[in-house]
Every structure is written in structure tokens, then in C-alpha cells.
Structure 1
Amino acid sequence: MTYSASDAEGHRAMALALRVGELLLGSGEATENVAGAMRRILESYGMRQVEADVNLSAITLSHVPTDGRPPATAERRVRRRQPDYDRLIAVHHLVGEVNAQDLPLGETVERLKEITRRVRVYPEWAVVTSSALISSSAAVLIGGGPTVAGAAFVATVLGDRAGAWLGRRGVAEFFQTAVAAMFGSVVAVLLIWQRVPVEASAAVVGAVVALLPGRPLVACVQDGIAGEYVTATARLTEVVFIVAAVIAGIGTTLTVAVRLGVPITVDSVPSAPLSLAPAQLLGALALSLTFAVALLVPPRHLLPGALGGGLIWLTFVSLTAHGVPALGATTIAAAVIGLLGTAYARRVRVPSAVFVIPSIGPLLPGSALYRGMLELSLDNVLAGALHLVEALSIAVGIGAGVILGAEILRAIRGRGLARRTRPAARRTRGY
């Protein structure tokens, strides 16, 4: 089957490739993987002179035939970016079948329609519950007891429902996230105000972890390392605004609480004990498991992601026990997950994000972010800024470590893969 941009079937093939790219990018796939999938589809239908330009909000395809027939350019906007790893896996499998079996174009189009219309792997209530359980698991991980875990659960559910209510009324996502973060800190403030004898601040940390943009951060670093600087910059801007919304929500609540005389101190902010005690291991495993459910990872792939959370925590604690600085230990632990998660993903033929992204949950810097905002609320500007920089450094370390692990595997086993996905990869020495 050989099509050209000048005929109707060529236009259908380009439309198909654009739709595939939109689904992959909207589900959080890296730019180079999106562009590669679109090119492979068009090459399967004989369209080889194709250029794909992918950024965070638009995908463009250009086909310039070498026989003098008219060229064509098509673009598709990416208006919604919601993680759905079940759909991501299905689209990847479809692209693989197109390459391997030379599926007719009409059949491929119908298969893609079935994927887009399929019922989500988990109902809405399960996704909301999993997000709340992320908060509860994070609260347990940093030393909070059952009361704090329950408070974090309630705060996250209330914040999620408030954000959904605002979303249905067209309020910008920035303010939805800020309101969700505000609910988490309000619950902690109420516990402190009522002098409940628990680690109340752990509820805030748990709620913050559920809101932190781990998935966009990893994709941002991956795009930057792959040389996709425009998309990497756009993703970084998205990450910055999400974090800014979280900071705004927490900061507003803490500032008001401090002005009203609620006895909030920096000393009350908990940090995750560097321990392999059952409570911490259970918290790490549960955090990654619930993170996977929130990302709509299919049930058959939940266990590897949960075990990855336990492994990354085990590696991090072991490294810090041997004197490795926290940032270095975070990066190395993330690299281990990137390496093993990518290797396992290749074995079972699914995107590596299905295992890697849930696994990084236990290391997300919720405590540092909350401590920084509390310092700022108490007018300790320098200390607050340092803690926020620490949180940012940890987040970047996670993203860089994950990609480092994947690149190590590529260097060892990916010679043929490199030619297919990075034909222009070579040393430039900065030129």
C-alpha cells in the first residue's frame, strides 16, 4: 500500500497519524516517541518523505513527495491532556500491528475509533478514591498514623470534588489545583487548631504529593535530553504553573492561619523517616499502587508499578544510610527504576511510563515544598526559598535519574533502536 499526500487515501493516512499522535501526547508520552509513532504509521502506508513537528498543544505533519506531486501539511490541536495508560498501551499495540502486519488503512482507522470509544478501565469513583489513597499512603510514609491518613483522604476527596465543580463551570485549571491544595492545608490547620495529638502537617504533605506533576516533569526532562527543546520548555512551563498553583493554595491557607494565631511551627513539619520499617515500606508500595490506578494503568500491570515504589524507596534509604546526599540518592534511585522499568517494559512490549511513573511517587518532594511555604508564611523568606529550591532540585533529580536509567539501557542494548528513533543522534559539542 503506497499513498501520497495528493490523493484521498493519503489524506486519510495523515489524519490517522495525527489522531494517534494526539492520543499519545495527551496521555503523557514523550515527544520523540509521539513523532516516531506517527512516522512509522505513514511509512507503513508508503509515505516516507514525512516530517513531524510535535509540541505541547499542536501536532503538524508535512509530506513532500519526490515525484513532483503536490505536498501537503496538516495540523491537529491537543486540547486535553489526561493520563490514560490503558489507552496509551492500546495505541502503542495498534502502531506495532500496523508496522508488523501491514493492516489495511480502513481497518486501522476503525480499530483506533474502538480504542477512543472504549470504556475507561476504572470507574470515576475508583479514580477519585485512588487519588485520595495517594495522599493517605504518603501520610503513612512520612510517619502519620491512621488519623492523619484519614484526614489526608478526606482533604483530597474534598479538594478533588471542589476542583471538578470549578472545572464544570469553566474555571481555569490553575485555580482548580490551588483550591485542591487549599483543602489539604485547611484540614491540617483545623487539626492543629483543635490540638489533636497527631502529626497534622503530614495531611498537607500527603495532599501535596497527590497534586505534584511527576508525570509532566519526567516527560519534560526526557524531551530536553532528546533535544526537543521547544516542547521541553513548554512542559517545564506547565510544571511551573502546577507547582505555583499548589504553592498558592497552601500559602494562602497558612498565611491566614498564622495571622489568626494558629500555632503552626516549622518544627511540626514531618519528614519521611529514612527507614525500612513495615509502615514506610507499606506506604511506598501503596503510594505507587494507588498512583498507578489514578493513571488508569490496567490491572495486569499494577503489581510491577507497586513493586517499583518499594524498590525505589529501598534504594533511596540504603544509599542515604551509606552517606550519599539526599539529592544524589534520589537521582540514583530514580535511575535504577528507569533502567529496570524500561527493561521490563521492553520485555512485555508496553511504554515504560506505565511502570516508571507510578514508581517515582515515594520520592516526590511534598515535605520540602510544604516546609518552604510554611517558612515564607512565617516571614522567613530566605529559609523558605531554600526549601523551595530543594524541592525543585529533588524533582529535577527524579526526572533526570529516570531518563538516565533509560539511556543506559539504550546504550547497552539499543543500537538498532537508536537508528530508528534518533537518526540524527550524534555528538555536536554544543554547536
Structure 2
Amino acid sequence: MKIAMIGSGYVGLVSGACFADFGHEVVCVDKDESKIARLHANIMPIYEPGLDALVKTNVDAGRLSFSTNVTEAVKGCDAVFIAVGTPSRRGDGHADLSYVYAAAEELARAIDPRTVVVTKSTVPVGTGDEVERIIRETSPDLDFAVVSNPEFLREGAAIGDFKRPDRIVVGSDVEWARDVMRAVYRPLFLNESPLLFTSRRSSELIKYAANAFLATKITFINEMADLCEKLGANVQDVSRGIGLDNRIGSKFLHAGPGYGGSCFPKDTLALLKTAQDHETPVRVVEAVVQANDLRKRAMGRKIITALGGDVRGLKIGLLGLTFKPNTDDMRDAPSIAIVQTLLDAGAIVHAHDPEGMEEAAKILPEVIMADSAYSAAQDAHAVALITEWDAYRALDLKKLHAAMAGDVLVDLRNIYRPEDTAAAGFKYVSVGR
């Protein structure tokens, strides 16, 4: 089949490369000429493990190409995916759909009859209706269908998630459009990946509901971690104990500094705004958003407390800046609020991240970037582990301690065992233990 992907960012590029790997003919489109030029040179605009090799393989095989011309790209396509950004809108927190609607207006004048327009971007309920209205207003006699097909890709594991999904959600009541989507996902369907057909509005809500529920699990275990510290319990034991209940499950029950990234913060906020607009408050999600925002700065104060409450003029080394491992994404990363809390208290912050320092430097210009974990720790009064990169899981603790001026290690991901850190000479602080 022939597929066009409008938007060559995280979702569009990963999805396009994976569709091409299935054997489809795919063109990824983007208005950013410099991005397309870099992709032609096999320079990825994002860090995602394995993506550069996957893109090169399919470009070399002639199945994947890149373009800045929407009109040419969509000609003869069976399906055109809209995979543009939907960031939180400044001022009110609603999802900014301007890029989605601009793509719809352009597609209205370019697509062939019987093309399926697929909203892959994360969009509020009812967006598909508006996309359909925009196209129909411009081309009233055109035979087309608008389908919702939300993505469920984890940054750092996106290729595996696309090729081995828990489910594929398709929102459409148009049978011929469903047939096109069955053909698009046929390689996965043959491997028994569940293909769930719903109404378009249900599909749009599934994405937001899923992310809100996962964000709730993260926030819940973080609050249990705080309670564990007060009661002398161990949050890791609590997490295992409740996670073994298959009604609850063990995933997303790891205490830490709070959630961040490109999805959970904006999607929970967009869900809140949608609910408020329809006078149906979602109190649980409201509490989750508030608790997560408060937690990030609380983790900064946790580091300050570990140093006796006064960090003015003290050097603190941070390990990990991105919101999670295996990405260079700094969007709403907990490290941002933690750094700001430390700077506000007068600390001097040095940091290291395996992939995120270039992006972090744009957001955190006062942080001094180090070329290794040990360099970040050099002469530091405390080291705080923020992101659980593999590179930090087996540090030489004695070497780390020897590099420091102090002896405080704050582990916000509970990577290390207290007895091991004590043996290396650290005063060790973790989360919920």
C-alpha cells in the first residue's frame, strides 16, 4: 500500500519507518526543509534507539522517502496519516490543534478519492469531526473517510512498541475505511496483535484515558512512597505486593521524581480542559496533575534537606536530565523543576546525561554540563541521580565518592542498595525506603 505521513517528528518518523519495514511504500512529509535535508543524509532529528538503522534500511530498499511537498506526496495514497504536534496551548492548557487543522486544509485540496485520512496525532474528542468538516467544506464532492488511530509509543522503546503492540485502536464507522486500515496493519494483525475497532470519538478518548490512568498509577505510588518514609515501610515492597495482583499490575509502580515527557503532562491537562468544557469534572485526574507538579519541586527540596537545609554556594552533581532513559527529550522533565529549586536556593549545579545535554543546555543555561558522571561529581557536596539511564546503574561508587567533596548520594530512582552505598562511604537518601 502507499502511505503518506504528514509530520516527520517522533510519531510520524517512527511510524513511517515501521510501516515501510512492513513492506508498504511510505513518504514522510515535513514543512521543515532542514529536517528533511538531514533525513536525506540519515541524520535523525530525535534520539531513538535503532531508528537510524531502520530508516537507512528502508530508504536503501526504496520503500521510505522524505519530502516537503504535501500535494505530490499524497497522490495515489491509500492512507494519509496526520502526525503533527499538538502541544498544550499557551494560556488555557487546551491542545493546540492548529497544525492538525492546517494539515486538513492542505489535504482537502490534494488527496485522491477514497483516501483514508488518519489522525495519528493525540487529539481531543471531536477533532476528527472537525477534520472531516474542514475537508468536506473545501471539497464537498470528494469521497473520503477520516479515521482515528492513536499511537501508544514509549520514547526509548518506540520501534518495539510499534511492531509488537498491546493493541491497535481504529476509530471509524465507515466499513471501507476499516478495510483499508486492516490492510495497513495486516502484518501485525497476522501476528495476532489485537485490532480494536471503535467509534471515532471513543478512539480519541481511549488515548487520553490510557495516559491519564498511567499517570495516576505513577502519582499514586509516589504518594505511597512519601507515606512509607513517614511510617518506616519500603515502597519497593509495597509496589511488589500490590503489583502481583493482576487487577493492578506491576508496571508504572516505580516511585520517583514524578512524570514528564511529551505525553502525560499535556494529555492529562487536555483531558481536564475537555472535561471542564463539558461540565463533567474528572477529580482524580485533577489531583494527579496537581500532585505531580508539586512533587518535582519537592524532590529538589529533598536534595536540599539531605545537605542540612542550606546549599548556598555548594556544588551539586546531577545524573540524568531527560524525563526518562533512551531519549533526548527534555519536555516537562522533572529535572527542570529540580534544577530550578536548587538554583533558587543558591546551589551550583553540574550535570551529566548520556543523550540529553544539548537539549538541556537550551532550557537550563545556568547548569554546567559535564562529560561524565564522575566529572559531574567532582568536588560536589552531593550527587543526585535523577534519570535511571543504564550508564548509571553500575557506577563505581567508591570512585564516585572519592571524586566528591561531600558524601551525600540522593537516589531518586532507588537504583542502589543502601548497604552498597554505605560500604562506599555515602550518606544515602532514596525514595520511600
On whether the aligned pair clears a TM of 0.5, the verdict is no
If each structure's strand is expressed as a fraction of its own residues, which one has the higher value?
2
- Larger RCO, structure (CA 8 Å, separation 6 or more): 1
- TM-score norm. by structure 1 comes to 0.27
- TM-score norm. by structure 2 comes to 0.27
